[in-house]
Structure 1
Amino acid sequence: MICPHCETSLLRKERPGNRCGTCGRSYALDPKTNPLGLHDLRVRRIVARLTQDGRLPCTPGQLWYALARKSLRASQVDTGCAIVLGVLGAIALFIAAGSEVMAFGVGGGLLLLVALGFVVARVMGVGRGRPRLSRTDFRTGPLEEWKSVYGSLPPGVIDDSRYPSPHAGPAHDATGPAPATPSDRLVLVCPDRSVAVFLDAAGLTARHRLTLVADPAALPAAPGAGPVLVLHDADARGLLLARRVRLAQPGRPVVDVGLPLGAVHGLARAVPVRGEPPGPTVMARLRDSGEFSRDQLKWLAKGWGFPLVGVPPAKLLAVVSRAVERAGAAAETQRRRAADIGFMTWPREGG
C-alpha cells in the first residue's frame, strides 16, 4: 500500500502496527486488516468525491455505503477455498490411480465436488448484496481507528450520532414577507438519521423552516398540520412509509418524495443492499397497492432494497430541495387563498 504521509509504496512487512517503515508516522487503515480493504488515501478520495471537494457535508452513513459499494456487487464466497480443495482432490485422485487405494479415490472425488460447489455458489452470487461490514461496525471499527490516529473524523464528514433538533428559523424582518405560521410549516419524515443530519447540515431545514421527524408516530407533536413530505429507502418497509403517514394523518397533505423503486430497480449503477426478507403482511400490502410489478415484488420479497445513503449527496439534496420548494409554494398559495376569503382573518367588531 501507499503511505498516506510520504507516499512510499510499502510491503506488508514494511508497515508493522500501522506505522510506515520509511517516515515512521502512523496511519489509520490497512487494506489487509479490514473487511472492506480500506486505506487512508482511498477514504480521503471518496470523501472528496462525496463532498465535492468540501462544498457539501457528508455523514458516516453515506461514507459507509460509498466505501462498501464495490464489495456489495461481489459474492462473499471465496474462490481460494475452491482452488485449494480442487488441488487436494486432484492429488488424491492421482494417488488413488497409482496405488489403487479406494479411500484416496473417494476422498478426492468428495473434495472435487465441494470445490465445484464453491464455484457454483460464486457464479450464482451467493452472499451478494450482504455488507461485509455493517454500518454499526463501520462506526465502531474503521471510523474509530481513524479518530484514534487523526483525532477527528475525516475532513468533510460530520457526526450523525444524534437526530437533528427542529430549528427555530431565522428572525423575521418586519419589512419582508411574513414567516410561515405553524399551520404552514413543512414537515419531513426521514427515518434515516444519517440522511436527516446531512439535510440539516446542508442548510435545508433552516432555509425552509423545515421540521425533521424520524418516526411518523411523532407527527402529532410536530408544529401545525401543514404538508408532510416522506423520505424513505427503496425497500419493502420503506415503500410503505408514505401509506402509514396518510393513514395516521387523514386529511393532511402527504407527499412521497422517494426514494421510488422504479428509479433504482434494475439499474446497473444502483447497487442494492440485501437485508432480512419482509414478512407476509408487508408483502401483502405491497401487492395490494398495485404499484409494483411481479419482478419488483419478487425482488423485494428476497430482502433487496436501495438505501437513501446510497444516493449521491448532491443529487439527494437537489431532489429534496425541489420537493420542499414545490410543497412550500403550494402551501403558501392555499394560505393566501384562505386569507382572501377571510378564513384566517380575525372578524371585525360588529361584523
Structure 2
Amino acid sequence: MICPHCEQSLLRKERPGNVCGKCGRRYALDPKTNPLKLNDLRVRRIVLKLGQEGQVPCTPGQLWYALSRKTLRSTRVETGCIVALAVVGFFLGIIGLSSDTGGFAVVGGLSLLAALGLVVAAVAGVGRGRPRLAREAFRTGPMAEWQSVYGALPDGMVDDRTHPATTPQVGAAVGPSDGIVLVCPDRSVAAFLDAAGLTARYGVTLVAEPYSLPAAPDRTLLVLHDADAQGLLLTHQIRSALPAGRVVDIGLPLGAVQGLTRAVPVRGEAPEAWVMEQLAAKREFSPAQLKWLRKGWGFPLVGVPPAKLLAVVSRAVERAHATDDPVRRRAAAVGFLTWPEAGR
C-alpha cells in the first residue's frame, strides 16, 4: 500500500502496527486488516468525491455506502476457494485412481463436489447485497480508528452522532403550527441536510418521527424515507396517524431507482408479514416488486449522492412553500409571471 504521509510504497512487513517503516508516522486503515480493504488515501478520495470537492458535506453513513457499493454487487463466495477446492479435488482424484487408494479418491470427489456447490452458490448470488461491514460496525470500526489517529473525522465530513439536528426530542424542536416539517428517520441523512443549510435556508423543522407533533391542519409534512418495505409504508402510516395537515411523500421512490446502474440495493432482514400485507393492499407495487421487497431488498437514502439529494429535497421544500403561501397561490391562479399558452 501507499503511505498517506510520505506516499512511499510499503510492503506488509514494512508497516507493522499501522506505522510506516519509512517515515515512522502512524496511519489509520490498512487494506489487509479490514473487510472493505480500505486505506487512508482511498477514504479521502471518496470523501472529496461525495462532497464535490468541498461544495457539500457528507456523513459517515453516506461514506459507508459509497465504500460498500463494490462489495454489495458481489457474492460472499470467494473465487479462490472454488479454484483451490477444484485443484485439490482433481489431484487427489488422480492420485487415488492411479494408486488404487480409495481414500484419496473419496476426498478428491468430495472436494470437487464442494467446489461445484460453491459455483452454484455464486451463480445464485448468495450473499449479494449483504454488506461486508455493517453500517454501525463501520462507524465503530474504521471511523473510530480514523478519529483515534487523526483526532477527527475526515475533512468535509459531519459527525452524525453529535450534530444538533439528530436530537430525539422532536417535539421541542417544532416551529410554527403552519410551517413545513421534514420527516427523515435516517439520522445520518438528517444531519447532512441540516449541515448543508437546508433547515436554515428554508426555515424547515427536521424531525425523526412526527407522531408527537400537536395537531395542526395547516402544517405540511414532507416525508423522506428509504426505498425498502418499511420506508415505503411510512408515508401511509403518517397519514393515518395524523389526518390533520398535508403529508407529501418526496421519496425515495422505488420505481425511480430500481434498475439504475449506479443504484446498488442493500439486502437486510425480511420485513414482517403485516408490513407486506399493508403494502400489497395499497396496490402501488407490482407482484415482482413486492416479492423483491419481501426478501429484504431496498435502496437506502444514504446511497443517493449528497449533492443530488440536497437538490431534490430543496426543490420539494420550495414547491411546498409555494403551495402554502396564499400570495403565491393567487399569483399562480392568475398566471402571474407565466408564459401565455395557446387558447388562454
Normalised by the length of structure 1, the TM-score is 0.88
1:100 maps to 2:100: yes
Matches for 1:242-257 after TM superposition, within 5 Å: 242-257=235-250
Structure 1 CA distance for aligned equivalents of residues 177 and 15 of structure 2? 61
1:327 maps to 2:333: no
1:116 maps to 2:116: yes
Structure 2 CA distance for aligned equivalents of residues 328 and 168 of structure 1? 22
Match of residue 283 from structure 2: 290
Structure 1 CA distance for aligned equivalents of residues 286 and 327 of structure 2? 36
Local SS of the residue matching 1:128: coil
Query: Conserved in 1, the CA contact under 8 Å of 2:171 and 2:213?
Result: no
Match of residue 188 from structure 1: 182
Q: 1:132-152: per-residue Cα shift (whole Å, max 9, x none)? A: 111111111101111111111
Root mean square deviation of aligned Cα: 2.2
Query: Conserved in 1, the CA contact under 8 Å of 2:171 and 2:212?
Result: no
- Where structure 2 has 5 or more consecutive residues not aligned to the other structure, the ranges are 331-344
The size of the alignment, in residue pairs, is 326
1:17 maps to 2:17: yes
Structure 1 CA distance for aligned equivalents of residues 212 and 200 of structure 2? 20
1:76, CA displacement in angstroms? 1.1
1:123, CA displacement in angstroms? 2.1
Q: 1:306 aligns with which of 299, 302, 322?
A: 299
Query: Conserved in 2, the CA contact under 8 Å of 1:259 and 1:308?
Result: yes
Match of residue 210 from structure 1: 204
Q: 1:160-209: per-residue Cα shift (whole Å, max 9, x none)? A: 1146157999xxxxxxxxxxx82321001100000001110111111111
Local SS of the residue matching 1:187: strand
Structure 2 CA distance for aligned equivalents of residues 187 and 264 of structure 1? 25
1:121, CA displacement in angstroms? 1.0
Matches for 1:229-244 after TM superposition, within 5 Å: 229-244=222-237
Query: Conserved in 2, the CA contact under 8 Å of 1:168 and 1:209?
Result: no
Letter in 1 for 2:255: G
Match of residue 311 from structure 2: 318
Query: Conserved in 2, the CA contact under 8 Å of 1:182 and 1:224?
Result: no
Q: 2:260 aligns with which of 237, 262, 267?
A: 267
1:200 maps to 2:194: yes
1:335, CA displacement in angstroms? 9.7
Letter in 2 for 1:219: L
Local SS of the residue matching 1:218: coil
Q: 1:29-82: per-residue Cα shift (whole Å, max 9, x none)? A: 000100000000000000001111111111111111111111111111112222
Query: Conserved in 1, the CA contact under 8 Å of 2:85 and 2:115?
Result: yes
Query: Conserved in 2, the CA contact under 8 Å of 1:167 and 1:209?
Result: no
Query: Conserved in 2, the CA contact under 8 Å of 1:187 and 1:226?
Result: yes
Local SS of the residue matching 1:237: helix
Match of residue 26 from structure 1: 26
Identity within the alignment, %: 67
Query: Conserved in 1, the CA contact under 8 Å of 2:322 and 2:328?
Result: no
Query: Conserved in 2, the CA contact under 8 Å of 1:167 and 1:211?
Result: no
Structure 2 CA distance for aligned equivalents of residues 5 and 224 of structure 1? 58
- Where structure 1 has 5 or more consecutive residues not aligned to the other structure, the ranges are 170-180, 338-351
Structure 1 CA distance for aligned equivalents of residues 195 and 171 of structure 2? 12
Structure 1 CA distance for aligned equivalents of residues 192 and 212 of structure 2? 20
1:105, CA displacement in angstroms? 1.6
Letter in 2 for 1:52: Q
Match of residue 158 from structure 2: 158
Local SS of the residue matching 2:141: helix
Query: Conserved in 1, the CA contact under 8 Å of 2:239 and 2:247?
Result: yes
Structure 1 CA distance for aligned equivalents of residues 17 and 207 of structure 2? 44
Match of residue 337 from structure 2: none
Letter in 1 for 2:190: A
Q: 1:278 aligns with which of 266, 271, 276?
A: 271
Query: Conserved in 2, the CA contact under 8 Å of 1:185 and 1:224?
Result: no
Query: Conserved in 1, the CA contact under 8 Å of 2:19 and 2:25?
Result: yes
Structure 1 residue ranges (4+ consecutive) displaced by more than 3 angstroms after TM superposition: 165-169, 334-337
Local SS of the residue matching 1:258: coil
Query: Conserved in 1, the CA contact under 8 Å of 2:179 and 2:204?
Result: yes
Structure 2 CA distance for aligned equivalents of residues 167 and 247 of structure 1? 19
Local SS of the residue matching 1:219: coil
Structure 2 CA distance for aligned equivalents of residues 280 and 167 of structure 1? 31
Letter in 2 for 1:313: P
